[in-house]
Structure 1
């Protein structure tokens, strides 16, 4: 019996040792797996940070290249604009009258029943002036200068300086205005003013005739003819210059025409074609 007990105890001890070894091996394997996972994670994180840094660096490089491309394109466009300007034969100044606080003449018209809306000359001058400029700009040999392109105040002195300082020199000036009759609303029609001739080579009268005749051929309107007048914007500019009174804003019927988009298109076409006829007559050789 004693021998049996001893044998059994030995077996139990051996089994315990084997179990401990198995447990230690499992723990070791588990620990190795944890370490491997940790190392793998660190490597992945390192790679991720490296990629992020690389991406940021690439993005910065791309942004720099993009800015360089934009600047190069701007420079290219600027050089082309300069070349185009040099290739133009003619420069025409379009002067939409008034602007900003200077509203010019005004008129009112009914909109809904008894309610009325005010229309200002400065707005119509700008609308028609832009249309004339747009038509002339489509000509390959003409560049256009606008004395104002939005609702801003520009003094007559500044307009004159702008026109006289242009390079290449302005070949003709057309100032756009709306007429008005004080104390009455019966007057209607269009008329074109030209300045008192300040030198023997001045062609303002000729320009006025071409513009006035052309307007009358494009729209059904009373032709009030061309008139000589001392107006500052005409007097002080050193180019053939005219001022077009497109119609009477004080006349309700004519006012309705002047605010109509299609009528403005035809009126602008008439003015532009008059300028083109004048240029054709005095084509640069």
Structure 2
């Protein structure tokens, strides 16, 4: 073989080796680029998650503050509506004072509803919330009467001692106290209907039983219900007050069907009308 051919062969081998080295370098460079790219993507995704979490937290905080402001405004409006000041009455002297007492509140939820049907859980229902809603409606109806002043023992979801409720009724020199509650069946869910309680062991001149009977009867003329009648008891708001007083158990929230009725605003309106008209009928019958 000639010298020229050997040189050409060596050149070919050298060129082939260089190409192989170049390819290996390119592969290493491509791997580094991929690693760098994935790292950047990872950093970007982490940043996006953090940013999204931050935005979500801020949004929740804003919504919570907004809801708190709404609740505060509702409370102020309720206070303004039901604690009527003298200058808002156009100089009219109120003839009657009615204390409406929404049962429970705050840390004391009262009875709990069991809104579960067909294995589908729904929002938990508490006595304190329904009692407040219905009490506000009752107070609203009563306050439309020119000769009736209405006082609520609470206008928001807060705990009020039974002794404070009694004190409110006594210091206001109330003509009538009506306390609003929801019933529940211990260990069952079949009981339903409305019943009204009055003061037990009352003196002969006490009119609480008549108040309870009038409210119970009048409710029945506004809504279709199972009439569980009137009963006497020693609930503190009945026992320790001196004016005619009644405690209305507006229905069983342990019974799914009745609970659903109590959650319906139209039903609440009719029930509240029945309670309020019962109070007004009693006041008319025992006019001072």
Superposed CA offset, 1:224-266 (max 9, x none): 0000111111000110000000000000000000010000000
Question: For 1:128, what is the secondary structure of its paired residue?
Answer: helix
Instruction: Say if 1:173 and 1:239, in contact at 8 Å, map to a contact too.
Output: yes
Match runs of 1:71-150 below 5 Å: 80-81=87-88, 84=91, 87-110=93-116, 114-150=120-156
**CA–CA separation in structure 1 for the residues paired with 2:147 and 2:195:** 28
1:241 counterpart residue number: 245
Task: Note closer, same or farther for the CA distance 1:199–1:83 as it changes in structure 2 (3 Å cut).
Answer: farther
Within the candidate set 157, 178, 189, 2:193 is matched to 189
Question: For 2:214, what is the secondary structure of its paired residue?
Answer: helix
Question: For 1:95, what is the secondary structure of its paired residue?
Answer: strand
How far off its partner does 1:110 sit? Answer: 4.3
1:56 counterpart residue number: none
Instruction: Say if 1:197 and 1:204, in contact at 8 Å, map to a contact too.
Output: no
Within the candidate set 154, 162, 179, 1:156 is matched to 162
**CA–CA separation in structure 2 for the residues paired with 1:198 and 1:253:** 36
- Structure 1 segments (4+ residues) deviating >6 Å: none
**CA–CA separation in structure 2 for the residues paired with 1:245 and 1:257:** 14
Match runs of 1:7-46 below 5 Å: none
How far off its partner does 1:82 sit? Answer: 7.8
**CA–CA separation in structure 2 for the residues paired with 1:249 and 1:280:** 32
Q: For this pair of structures, how many residues does the alignment match?
A: 205
How far off its partner does 1:101 sit? Answer: 0.5
Unpaired segments ≥5 residues, structure 2: 1-83
Q: Are 1:257 and 2:261 counterparts?
A: yes
Give the alignment's TM-score, normalised by structure 1: 0.69
1:64 counterpart residue number: none
How far off its partner does 1:100 sit? Answer: 0.2
| Larger of the two Rg values belongs to structure | 1
Give the alignment's TM-score, normalised by structure 2: 0.68
Task: Note closer, same or farther for the CA distance 1:104–1:283 as it changes in structure 2 (3 Å cut).
Answer: same
Within the candidate set 217, 221, 225, 2:225 is matched to 221
Task: Note closer, same or farther for the CA distance 1:253–1:235 as it changes in structure 2 (3 Å cut).
Answer: same
Task: Please report the RMSD computed on the Cα atoms of aligned residues, expressed in angstroms.
Answer: 1.9
Within the candidate set 172, 184, 205, 2:209 is matched to 205
Q: Are 1:281 and 2:285 counterparts?
A: yes
**CA–CA separation in structure 2 for the residues paired with 1:188 and 1:112:** 20
Unpaired segments ≥5 residues, structure 1: 1-76
2:180 counterpart residue number: 176
Within the candidate set 258, 273, 280, 1:269 is matched to 273
